[in-house]
Structure 1
Amino acid sequence: MCKSSLISIRAMIVPVHDAAIYSNIIPTHTLKLFPKADHNFKGCYQELVDTILRYFKVHENEAARAWSLGLTKSLTIPRWIDVEGVMNFRDIGGWDVKGGNGYIRERMVFRCGHMSNMTDNGEQTLKSLGITAAFDFRSTQEIEQYGIMREIPGLDRYHSPVFLDEDYSPAAIAVRWQGYFAGPTGFPHAYRTMLQSGSQVFERIFRYLIANPRSPFIIHCTAGKDRTGVFVMLLLGLCGVDDEVIAREYELTNLGYWESEEQLAKKAKLLDRSIDDLKIVMSAPYVAMKETISMVRHEYGSIESYVRDKCHLSDADIAAIRRIMIVPIRREEKQLYRAAKL
């Protein structure tokens, strides 16, 4: 698909050098410079209109031609992936790291809800992504309730429960869910228990990543929201992704996971709560993750301190994870790099 940029030299909003780099990296791009125009092209309107009309006339039907010839070049890799039978499946890569010197490697780590209902088409999608492992954060009781993913040759499933079986007693569930019912600011209380109970599991995944630097894998729980979200927070935070971005990534679960009114009604009856209460519990509020990150810093000093103290990662381990997960951006490419889209 053909693209065109119209740049005012006087305004210097976009340096000419950067505009040229951008133009050169896209084969179907046309760059037009206006030496006398300001940022609003004042006094150059006719020249601007003539340039646009001339461009469209020359490139009429170019979009269809480019698609037919395979000449399009995408600057983004789709985040959401349709794995049939699996909800909330997405790539956690592509996010910018602070300082703009790199971004999180794409097609390396994926997150989702439980995979018990995956279809044949879903299996083929996983194979096409080259996924070699799946870490299941669910308890034995949850697995008995929902089932496990089918066996796929070349893909190892690791049962990695964040909570011990006894933690799923009715009393323990009631205590944990109180945090969720308190609203977004109460979520960190529930996530604190995950950080305490899940440190060995998180360490296991970090070490798998270090030992298998080119082997894509999945992390999932039941909804792919809470336990999965806590680990993603640790991984992205360790790699230098901004808190705001981590919280927005967590919030994407609101688009990827839902339950029917009937399912919510059953859970509400079991917990003696209203359906509206359950909808709060099933949500992924931005502020909940922001508060969780603040809680980690308050109680552990930083995300890096948590993985050092609780996951027993050394300086070399942390450096290896960053080396694997961060794709560096060269200086001349910085103006070209796009932060990942939601």
Structure 2
Amino acid sequence: MTTLDTLPQQFIEADKVFNLRDVGGWEAADGKKVRTGRVFRSDNLGMVTEADVDLLVNRLGVRHVIDLRRAEEWDVAGRFPETAGVEFHHFELLHVKWENIGREYPSGPDAVTFLRQRYSGMYEAGYQAVRDSLDVIARGEPVIFHCMAGKDRTGLVAAALLSVLGVDETDIAREYELSNFGIARWRAWRDANIGKPATESGLTTPAEAMLETLAEMNARFGSMRDYVAATGFDQADALREQLLH
């Protein structure tokens, strides 16, 4: 069983947030590194305890919360509470609902193709959320962005951000793959507190899915940086100035 002691160093312990981690620390372009303590990603923040809010706001210094979900998801899972000193942003990352596709979530190698198809479509349909999230991050104040499991919509914003910062695609895929640890932690909590479901939904983040997504976006746009520019984001220099050292 995964414990805090065995988690990768990017993870941050919290009561009711299971996929919370620092996006920084990766090697970037020109021998620089992505700053830590500035940008965080997570799963749903609708269950946060007072201790979790204290962790995010007072210890990590978060000043912006970006929620990438549909507002209807708040009815089921809640949202981050109004908190003094924290600006809440709702940037729904538009996409066709996966449950409406009429296909079961595949397992094994088929999951890579399924995710690549979903992700590349999400990048196109949800480009405004990607652009708006990067605009907030470029302000330079500590920020956290999230969706439900913190793997898909959140993973796409993280990949776009790290691409602009010049992080190697292999490391972007490694960063994405870390969500497997967060998902395992959430499942352990769910099984102990809610009960294990009869059938397990397909929650996984194989690095190959992100690598194939990046390859497809490169083919469509020339590069991920070109894709980000096509969204209308024009603060790439400021973003690199803020987050690289």
Short-chain TM bin: 0.7 to 0.9
Bigger CA radius of gyration: 1
Give the 5 Å matches for 1:119-198.
119-126=49-56, 127-163=58-94, 167-168=96-97, 173-175=99-101, 182-198=110-126
Deviation string, structure 1 residues 58-105 (Cα, Å, up to 9, x no partner)? xxxxxxxxxxxxxxxxxxx95211122111000000101144x20001
Would you say how many aligned residue pairs link Structure 1 and Structure 2? 228
Alignment-mate amino acid for residue 206 of structure 1: L
- Name the Cα RMSD after superposition: 2.1
Q: Shift in Å at residue 179 of structure 1? A: 6.8
Q: Secondary structure at the match of 2:145?
A: strand
Distance 1:114 1:176, change over 3 A: farther
Distance 1:111 1:206 in 2: 13
Q: Give the unaligned 5+ runs of structure 1.
A: 1-76, 269-274, 328-342
Distance 1:121 1:130 in 2: 14
Is contact 1:83-1:123 (8 Å) kept? Answer: no
Moved over 6 A (4+): none
Distance 2:62 2:73 in 1: 23
Q: Secondary structure at the match of 1:218?
A: strand
Deviation string, structure 1 residues 203-244 (Cα, Å, up to 9, x no partner)? 11222223x22x100010000000000110111011110111
Alignment-mate amino acid for residue 301 of structure 1: G
Q: Identify the structure with bigger relative contact order (alpha carbons < 8 Å, sequence gap 6+).
A: 2
Give the equivalent residue in structure 1 for 2:41.
111
Alignment-mate amino acid for residue 182 of structure 2: G
Of residues 295, 298, 318, the one that matches 2:216 is: 295
Q: Shift in Å at residue 173 of structure 1? A: 2.6
Is contact 2:116-2:209 (8 Å) kept? Answer: yes
Q: Shift in Å at residue 249 of structure 1? A: 0.7
Q: Secondary structure at the match of 1:283?
A: coil
Structure 2 residue 165 is the aligned partner of structure 1 residue 239: yes
Distance 1:318 1:163 in 2: 23
Structure 2 residue 212 is the aligned partner of structure 1 residue 282: no
Give the 5 Å matches for 1:252-331.
252-258=178-184, 259=187, 260=190, 262=195, 264-265=197-198, 268=199, 275=200, 278=201, 281-309=202-230, 311-314=231-234, 317-327=235-245
Alignment-mate amino acid for residue 239 of structure 1: L
Is contact 1:180-1:190 (8 Å) kept? Answer: no
What is the TM-score when the length of structure 2 is the normalising length? 0.86
Q: Secondary structure at the match of 1:235?
A: helix
Q: Secondary structure at the match of 1:82?
A: coil
Distance 2:239 2:104 in 1: 35
Alignment-mate amino acid for residue 229 of structure 1: G
Q: Give the unaligned 5+ runs of structure 2.
A: 1-7
Distance 1:236 1:285 in 2: 18
Is contact 1:179-1:190 (8 Å) kept? Answer: no
Distance 1:323 1:85, change over 3 A: same
Distance 1:176 1:153, change over 3 A: farther
Distance 1:180 1:174, change over 3 A: farther
Q: Shift in Å at residue 186 of structure 1? A: 2.2
Distance 2:103 2:165 in 1: 30
Give the equivalent residue in structure 2 for 1:208.
136
Q: Shift in Å at residue 118 of structure 1? A: 0.9
Q: Secondary structure at the match of 2:205?
A: coil
What is the TM-score when the length of structure 1 is the normalising length? 0.62
